[in-house]
A and B are shown apart, each in its own frame.
Chain A
Amino acid sequence: MTRGPEAALLARYEMVVGLEVHVQLKTATKAFCRCATSFGDAPNSNVCPVCLALPGSLPVLNATAVELAVRAAVALGCTVHGTSVFARKNYFYPDLPKGYQISQFDKPLATGGHVTIARADGSTVNVGVTRLHMEEDAGKSLHDRFHGVTAIDLNRAGIALIEIVSEPDMRSTQEAGAYLRAIKQILQYMDVSDVSMEEGSLRVDANVSARRRGATELGQKTEVKNMNSFTGVENALAVEFARQCAVLDAGGVVEQMTMLWDASAGEVRPARAKEGSHDYRYFPEPDLPPLVLDASWIESVRARLPELPQARRSRFEREYKLVAYDVDVLTASPALADYFEAVARATTDAKAAANWVMGEVLAALKSTGATIGSFAIRPDRLAELLRLVRHGTVSHTAAKQIFSAMVASPEAPDAIASRNGLLQVSDDAALGRWLNEVIAELPKEAERYAGGEKKLQGVLIGAVMKKSKGSADPKRLAQLLAARFGT
C-alpha cells in the first residue's frame, strides 16, 4: 500500500483517528469462572456452567484480572477509580452465550491517561486515553469448519479483556501505528497480555473521520473493523480516509457506518447496516457488586509496577552508554531488553553485548524463527563467548563460527572452540612466540633445562600458561619445548 495518496490528501484534509484496543489479559483462568484460558485447545473443552451460560449459573470476578487491568491502567497514566461498576451489554449472537456481555459502561475502571508517541518528523505527541474498562470475551463462530452450518467454540467465551479507548488525537496512519506499537510495548512490559494480533489477544477497532484543513468541527466518523495486524490497521485507515475524502470532494456526505477491512483485497466494505445500529440496553450487572478498590491497594500496584519502556530506554542510555538507536532496538520488547541486560552484566562490556545482541542474535532469531525467550543461546553462554573474544582466546571470526554452532548445540563455547580447533592458542606460532619470550625472561632456567634438569619443564610451561592467561595448550607446549632443546 503506498502512502503517496495519503500524503496528497493530507494537504487538503485532516485525518482524525481514535482507536479502541481490546486486549486479552494474561490470566490462567477466565474473568468470571475458573476455566482455563489456554489457546488452541480442543473446541469447547474449557467450559463450565458459568461460561456456557447454563441456567442458574453466576459470575464471580477473577481477582488477578483486576490486578492486571489496574496495572495496565496505571502504566497508561490513567486515574483508577475506587468504585467501578460492571454493566450488561445486551445483544443476541450465537457465540455470546448469556445474550449479554459483562462489560463496564458509565463507571469504568479507569479514565484519563495518555501515551506518548513519536511523529514522523521526530517530535513527540501525547495521545489521550479516554478510558480503560474490564469486560469478557465472546466465543468464536467458525463458519468454515463444517459445511452449511456454523460451529461455536466457547473456549474463549469469558476470557478477561480490557478495552482501551483513545481520544481522537491521531492525525495520520503513521501516528495510529505508533500509538498501537506503544500500547503493545507498554502492555508487554507490564506483563499483562501476550498482545498478539495473530492469536487474537489484541484486537483493534478504528474510528476515522476527515475534515477540511482549517475546519474546527470534527467530520462524521466511520468505524473500521476486522484488521488483523498493525499494518492492516494503517492500510485500512488510509483506504477509508481516501474514500471519505473522495465523498467530500464530490460534495457528498459521509454516513455513519461500520466498515470491514478486507486485507487480501485491500478494500473496506460497509458492514450490514445492523452492525452499527445496535441498542445494547446497558444496565448495571446485578450479579456482581460494584468493584471497590482500596486507594492503598491501587498504590501498591503502582509501587510494584514493572519498569516502563521509556524508563528502561533512559536507563539503558545512562547505564550502558548506548546511543538512542541501539537503545530503541534493544528495548523493543522486555524479553529482548532482559536478554541484553543479562549479557551486558555478565561480561561488563555493554558495547560488545549490544553489538552481538543487535547483530548475531537478532539475525539468528530471524533465520530460525525463534523468540528471544526460546532462543537456544542463553545470555550466560553468550557472555562466555564474549569473554573468550575479549581475552583473545578466540578471534572475532572464530567467535562467529562458535556462535553458529551454539545455536544448534547446548555445548559451552570453549568446548566448541577447542573441539573445532578454534582456540587461538592451539596455534604453534603463538605458543612459540610465548615460549621465546619466556626463554628470554628466564635464561638461567632455560639453560638448566637444556642441560637436562627435566624438573624445570614445569617452571617454563607454567610461565607460558601465566602469560597466556591459562589458554595455552600445555601438552602441545611440552612437545614444542622438547623439540626446541632436542630433549
Chain B
Amino acid sequence: MSVSSHGRRTAAQIAAGVRAGTLTAKDVVSSALARAVEVDAVDKLNVFLALAGQQATQQAVRVDASDGARGAPLAGVPFAAKDNISVAGLQVTCGSRILEGYVSPYSATVIERLREAGAVLVGKTNLDEFAMGSSTENSAFGPTRNPLSPDLVPGGSSGGSAAAVAAGVVPIALGSETGGSVRQPAAFCGIVGVKPTYGRVSRYGLVAFASSLDQIGVFGACVADASTAFGVIAGRDDRDATTADVAVDDYLATEGSLKGVVIGRPREYFPAELDAGVARHCERALDRLRSLGAEVRDVSLPHTAHAIPVYYIVAPAEASSNLARFDGVRYGLRIEGDGLRGMYEATRSGGFGPEVTRRIMLGTYVLSAGYYDAYYRKAMQVRTLIAGDFRNVFASGVHALFTPTTPTPAFPFGSRSDPYEMYLSDIFTCTANLAGVPALSLPIGRVGKLPVGGQIIAPHFAERRMFQVAGALERALGAEAHR
C-alpha cells in the first residue's frame, strides 16, 4: 500500500502549511483525491461511494486565492463524509438502493461549517445501509475492507470514513453515531473517533436513523485533529431544534498532567470474558492515566446489561418511522406494483436490504397498539435509568470514565452472521448514545496487527474534559498506542 506525499500529514500540519504558503490547498486536495482513487482502484478497500473532485478542486482554488481563507483553522484540509450526510449537488445513498438517483439540493450544517473553516470535502464514504450495522457489510454497494488488514471488517457503520482516515486519504472525516458507529470503527482501524453530547452537533442534513440517538461524529488520525474538527462543527443550529445553546470550548487540550482528575473504571465494562488482549491494553492505559496523576476509581453503572435490549427497541422504533419517507413517491427508487399499495411494497422490499427490513419490522412491532407499553414505553423508562447511572457516577466526583471501546478487535468478514452476535459489538458504546453523554475512542495498543480502542466517556457537554484525558493518554502512550 503506497502512501501519498500529503496523506499522512495531520490536519494541523496542512492548515499551518497552507497558512504559511508552504503548501497549497489545491496540491493537498489533488493528492487526497488521487489517494482516494488509489485505495479503491488499487487496494480494493471500497471506501468511497462518490468522489467530489470538481467541488473539491474549485473550493481548494478558492482557499488558495484568499488570505482570509488560508488563515482558517482547517484551511486546505481534505475531509471525507459518510454517505448519509447531505451535500448539495452530490448523491446521498445511505448505502441503500432505495435512494437510487437522489441528489441532495442542500448541504448539512456540519458540511457548511467545515467548509467555512477551510476544509475541503473530497468524497462520500461507504456505510452499513442507513447506518444499521457494525461492520459495513450491510452496504448495498459491498463491504469496506479494513486498511490495516483487508480480510477484516473496518467496523461500522461509519466504516468507510474510518478507513479513509486509516488509509491516509484524509486526516479527518465525518461519521455518524447511533450506537457506536464512529467509536467502534475508529477502534477497529486504529484511529480516534468522537461521539458528541446529544445536542452538541447539528443533525440537519444527516439522514435520520434514530433521531433521539443520532449524532454526527468525527474521525481523526490523532486527538488534536479530531478535537479541532469537532470544535468547528459543534454548537447550536437554528435548523435543528434538538441542538443545545451551550458555549463551545476550545478543545485543543495540551496540558500534560491529569493531577486531580478522577477516572472511573466501570466494572460492567470489564467482564471476565473480555478479550484478553483488549483487557491487557486497557489496564496498561489505566496505568498510564495513573502515572499522569489521575486517580482511577472502580465504579458501577448497574443498568449496563439492559443497554443492548433497550437500544434494539428504541432505535428500530424511531427508524421504522424515519424510514417511512422512502416510499417511492417523491425521490429515489420507485418500483411499480399493483396500485399504490403494490408500489409501496415493491419499492420498499426491493429498495431496503435485509438488516434494514428487520429493524423496520421490529420497530413497527414495538410501536404497535397493545405492544407500545410493554416495549417502547418500558424501554424508554430503562433508558432513563441508564442515563441515571451516568449522572450518579459523575455526581460522585468522577470526571470521566475509561472503558474498552469494543469487546474484541476487528473480526473477519462473515464471522457474525447471527444478528444478535453482531449487535453485541456495540455493547460498550451504545450506552453513551442512550444517555446522551459524549464519548471518544482512541488507539491504546495492538493485538498482533489489530488495533485496540480505549473509550473515554465524559458528562454532558464536558467534551473539553474528554479531549484533555484523551490527549494526555495519547501523549503518554506515544508509539505504544500502535504496538
- Chain A residues 252 to 299 lying within 8 A of chain B, measured CB to CB, are 279, 281-283, 286-289
- Chain A residues 38 to 76 lying within 8 A of chain B, measured CB to CB, are 49, 52-61
Within the complex, the shortest CB–CB distance from B13 to chain A, in Å, comes to 32
Contact of A283 among B84, B102, B241, B372 (CB under 8 A): B372
Q: B325, A53: Cβ atoms under 8 Å?
A: yes
A392 within 8 A of B: no
Which stretch (A97-105, A372-380, A403-411) binds chain B? A97-105
A228 within 8 A of B: no
B435 within 8 A of A: no
Residue of B239, B317, B321, B326 with highest tally of chain A CB at under 10 A: B321
B85 within 8 A of A: yes
A426 within 8 A of B: no
Within the complex, the shortest CB–CB distance from A14 to chain B, in Å, comes to 31
Closest B residue to A281 by CB, please name it.
B367
Contacts of B318 in A (CB 8 A): 283, 286
Q: B324, A58: Cβ atoms under 8 Å?
A: no
* Number of A interface residues in the complex (CB < 8 A): 28
What separation, in Å, do the CA atoms of A59 and B240 have in the docked complex? 7
A88 within 8 A of B: yes
A232 within 8 A of B: no
Contacts of A90 in B (CB 8 A): 320-321, 324, 367
- Per-position binary interface string of chain B over residues 104-129, scored 1 when its CB falls under 8 Å from any chain A CB and 0 otherwise: 11101000000000000000000000
Known: A92-B344, A94-B329, A97-B330. A55 touches B99 (CB 8 A): yes
Contacts of B329 in A (CB 8 A): 94, 97, 152
What separation, in Å, do the CA atoms of A413 and B205 have in the docked complex? 62
Contacts of A52 in B (CB 8 A): 330
Q: A61, B241: Cβ atoms under 8 Å?
A: yes
Contacts of A288 in B (CB 8 A): 241-242
What separation, in Å, do the CA atoms of A56 and B88 have in the docked complex? 12
Q: B241, A289: Cβ atoms under 8 Å?
A: yes
B425 within 8 A of A: no
Contacts of A152 in B (CB 8 A): 329
What separation, in Å, do the CA atoms of A288 and B208 have in the docked complex? 14
* Number of B interface residues in the complex (CB < 8 A): 45
B212 within 8 A of A: yes
What separation, in Å, do the CA atoms of A92 and B240 have in the docked complex? 25
Contacts of B376 in A (CB 8 A): 283
B92 within 8 A of A: yes
- Per-position binary interface string of chain A over residues 84-99, scored 1 when its CB falls under 8 Å from any chain B CB and 0 otherwise: 0000101010100111
Q: A54, B106: Cβ atoms under 8 Å?
A: yes
What separation, in Å, do the CA atoms of A100 and B367 have in the docked complex? 13
Contacts of B85 in A (CB 8 A): 56
- Per-position binary interface string of chain B over residues 302-327, scored 1 when its CB falls under 8 Å from any chain A CB and 0 otherwise: 00000000000000011011011111
Within the complex, the shortest CB–CB distance from A171 to chain B, in Å, comes to 31
Contact of A60 among B84, B102, B238 (CB under 8 A): B238
Contacts of B364 in A (CB 8 A): 281
What separation, in Å, do the CA atoms of A98 and B318 have in the docked complex? 13
Q: A56, B327: Cβ atoms under 8 Å?
A: no
Closest B residue to A285 by CB, please name it.
B211
Q: A56, B242: Cβ atoms under 8 Å?
A: no
Contacts of B369 in A (CB 8 A): 279, 281
Within the complex, the shortest CB–CB distance from A241 to chain B, in Å, comes to 29
What separation, in Å, do the CA atoms of A58 and B203 have in the docked complex? 8
Known: A55-B102, A286-B212. A100 touches B206 (CB 8 A): no
Closest B residue to A55 by CB, please name it.
B207
Known: A52-B330, A55-B102, A55-B104. A99 touches B239 (CB 8 A): no
Known: A55-B99, A286-B211. A97 touches B325 (CB 8 A): yes
- Chain B residues 314 to 349 lying within 8 A of chain A, measured CB to CB, are 317-318, 320-321, 323-327, 329-331, 340, 344
Contacts of A57 in B (CB 8 A): 106, 204-205
What separation, in Å, do the CA atoms of A286 and B340 have in the docked complex? 29
Q: B321, A88: Cβ atoms under 8 Å?
A: yes
Q: B344, A56: Cβ atoms under 8 Å?
A: no
- Chain B residues 87 to 108 lying within 8 A of chain A, measured CB to CB, are 92, 94, 99, 102, 104-106, 108
Contacts of A49 in B (CB 8 A): 105-106
Closest B residue to A152 by CB, please name it.
B329
Contact of B241 among A54, A55, A58, A282 (CB under 8 A): A58
Q: A281, B211: Cβ atoms under 8 Å?
A: no
Within the complex, the shortest CB–CB distance from A282 to chain B, in Å, comes to 8
What separation, in Å, do the CA atoms of A279 and B370 have in the docked complex? 10
Within the complex, the shortest CB–CB distance from A136 to chain B, in Å, comes to 14
Closest A residue to B341 by CB, please name it.
A92
B58 within 8 A of A: no
What separation, in Å, do the CA atoms of A283 and B379 have in the docked complex? 13
Q: A56, B206: Cβ atoms under 8 Å?
A: yes
Within the complex, the shortest CB–CB distance from A105 to chain B, in Å, comes to 11
Contacts of A286 in B (CB 8 A): 210-212, 242, 318
Contacts of B323 in A (CB 8 A): 99
Q: A281, B368: Cβ atoms under 8 Å?
A: yes
- Chain B residues 209 to 244 lying within 8 A of chain A, measured CB to CB, are 210-212, 238-242
What separation, in Å, do the CA atoms of A287 and B322 have in the docked complex? 10
Contact of A58 among B240, B327, B340 (CB under 8 A): B240
- Chain A residues 420 to 452 lying within 8 A of chain B, measured CB to CB, are none
Beyond the given A56-B85, A99-B321, please list 17 additional residue pairs across the A-B interface where CB-CB is below 8 A.
Answer: A56-B84, A56-B203, A56-B205, A58-B241, A60-B240, A88-B321, A97-B329, A98-B324, A99-B324, A100-B324, A279-B368, A281-B321, A281-B369, A282-B367, A283-B321, A287-B242, A288-B241
Residues of B within 8 A of A (CB): 84-86, 92, 94, 99, 102, 104-106, 108, 203-208, 210-212, 238-242, 317-318, 320-321, 323-327, 329-331, 340, 344, 364, 367-369, 372, 376
19 contacts between A and B (CB under 8 A): A54-B106, A54-B331, A55-B207, A56-B206, A58-B241, A60-B238, A60-B240, A90-B320, A90-B324, A90-B367, A281-B368, A282-B367, A283-B317, A283-B321, A283-B372, A283-B376, A286-B212, A287-B241, A289-B242
Q: Which 5 A-B pairs have the closest CB atoms?
A: A99-B324, A286-B211, A286-B212, A281-B367, A55-B207
